[in-house]
């Protein structure tokens, strides 16, 4: 049995409905497969749609834990067979656990989807750069960002960043945090203020190096720093699926081979 809410690829939210689309960075339109929308919408959609008419355009990659290790769910068939790619760059662990090396650093294995835990979607915001350019000027040299925290409360500009429990248009229920990289560090975005200041929480493992690069302990004991929005890379939303474990618990697990 396959998890019914599994998806991957590129999607656009149009008229309150998510659609599988194709989109290339910097384009002004999203395109439906075969030129036709797969789902009904309030208005006929048979032509490419301007991105300015899309509420969101995002790509989805699905991750989970398998035997305590992070994996990418590359494919999932109707029988619930998941094609997994080892996602922590640990070839030794992958080999011991039955993964087969297919490329220089990529190891794959097929397993039952019910053997997975900690299921989440990584939704990369494909319109982030366009939105950033429309709302913020590039930083001025010598002017340090000062906001980003809104006096300790998250600040939101035109719907970004999103956080909290969200029920989306397809019935998914997820705990959402918005994330990005700063100087190569994985970070959670606490808020974005009108001057382009961004409050970051550090999510990496090297706290000593993070402190050396200006992260400080604030608010709730987490290492944090205020940076400019043009300092961010790989902006995305982290959607922890709150329905997967419930679905999984209702299905008998197979023998772990």
How high is the pLDDT of residue 15? 84
DSSP 79-135: T-EEEEEE-SS-HHHHHHTT-EEEETTEEEEEEEGGG-EEEEEEEEETTHHHHHHHH
The answer, yes or no, to whether residue 213 has pLDDT greater than 70, is yes
Range with top average pLDDT, 27-36, 38-47, 139-148: 27-36
Pair of tokens at residue 247: 């679905």
The answer, yes or no, to whether residue 222 has pLDDT greater than 70, is yes
User: Contact 200/188 with Cβ under 8 angstroms?
Assistant: yes
pLDDT category, 195, cuts 50, 70, 90? confident
Residue with tokens 């989805």: 60
pLDDT tens-digit series, residues 232-245: 999 999 999 999 99
How high is the pLDDT of residue 171? 86
How high is the pLDDT of residue 153? 61
Question: Which of residues 160 and 45 earns the better pLDDT score?
Answer: 160
Dist CA 228 CA 248 (whole Å): 41
Pair of tokens at residue 219: 């608010």
Question: Which of residues 46 and 208 earns the better pLDDT score?
Answer: 208
How high is the pLDDT of residue 154? 63
How high is the pLDDT of residue 251? 59
Three-state secondary-structure class, residue 228:
strand
Strands 216-218, 222-228: parallel, antiparallel or unpaired by DSSP? Answer: antiparallel
The answer, yes or no, to whether residue 131 has pLDDT greater than 60, is yes
Share of the chain above pLDDT 70, in %: 90
pLDDT category, 43, cuts 50, 70, 90? low
pLDDT category, 217, cuts 50, 70, 90? confident
Three-state secondary-structure class, residue 209:
helix
pLDDT category, 150, cuts 50, 70, 90? very low
How high is the pLDDT of residue 194? 84
Three-state secondary-structure class, residue 26:
coil
pLDDT category, 257, cuts 50, 70, 90? very low
pLDDT category, 41, cuts 50, 70, 90? low
Dist CA 115 CA 68 (whole Å): 11
Dist CA 62 CA 120 (whole Å): 6
Q: Name the residue among 49, 62, 47, 164 with its Cα closest to residue 116.
A: 62
Dist CA 106 CA 89 (whole Å): 8
The answer, yes or no, to whether residue 253 has pLDDT greater than 50, is no
Please, which residues have CB within 8 angstroms of residue 149's CB and are 6 or more apart in sequence?
A: 155, 190, 191, 193, 199, 218, 219, 226
Dist CA 226 CA 229 (whole Å): 9
How high is the pLDDT of residue 255? 43
């Amino acid at each position: 049995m396959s998890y019914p809410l599994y998806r991957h690829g590129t999607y656009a939210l149009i008229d309150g409905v998510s659609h599988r689309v194709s989109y290339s960075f910097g384009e002004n339109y999203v395109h439906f497969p075969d030129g036709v929308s797969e789902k009904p919408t309030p208005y006929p959609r048979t032509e490419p749609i301007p991105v300015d008419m899309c509420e969101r355009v995002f790509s989805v990659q699905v991750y989970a834990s398998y035997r305590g290790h992070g994996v990418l769910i590359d494919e999932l068939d109707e029988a619930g067979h998941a094609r997994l790619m080892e996602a922590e760059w640990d070839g030794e662990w992958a080999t011991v656990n039955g993964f087969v090396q297919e490329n220089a650093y990529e190891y794959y294995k097929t397993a039952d989807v019910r053997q997975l835990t900690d299921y989440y979607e990584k939704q990369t915001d494909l319109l982030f750069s366009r939105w950033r350019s429309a709302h913020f000027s590039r930083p001025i040299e010598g002017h340090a960002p000062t906001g980003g925290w809104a006096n300790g409360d998250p600040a939101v500009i035109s719907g970004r960043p999103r956080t909290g429990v969200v029920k989306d248009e397809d019935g998914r229920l997820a705990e959402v945090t918005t994330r990005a990289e700063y100087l190569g560090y994985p970070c959670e975005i606490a808020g974005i203020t009108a001057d382009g200041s961004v409050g970051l929480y550090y999510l990496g493992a090297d706290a000593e190096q993070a402190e050396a690069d200006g992260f400080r302990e604030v608010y709730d004991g987490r290492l944090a720093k205020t940076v400019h929005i043009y300092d961010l890379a790989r902006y995305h939303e982290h959607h922890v699926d709150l329905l997967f474990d419930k679905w999984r618990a209702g299905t008998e697990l197979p023998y772990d081979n």
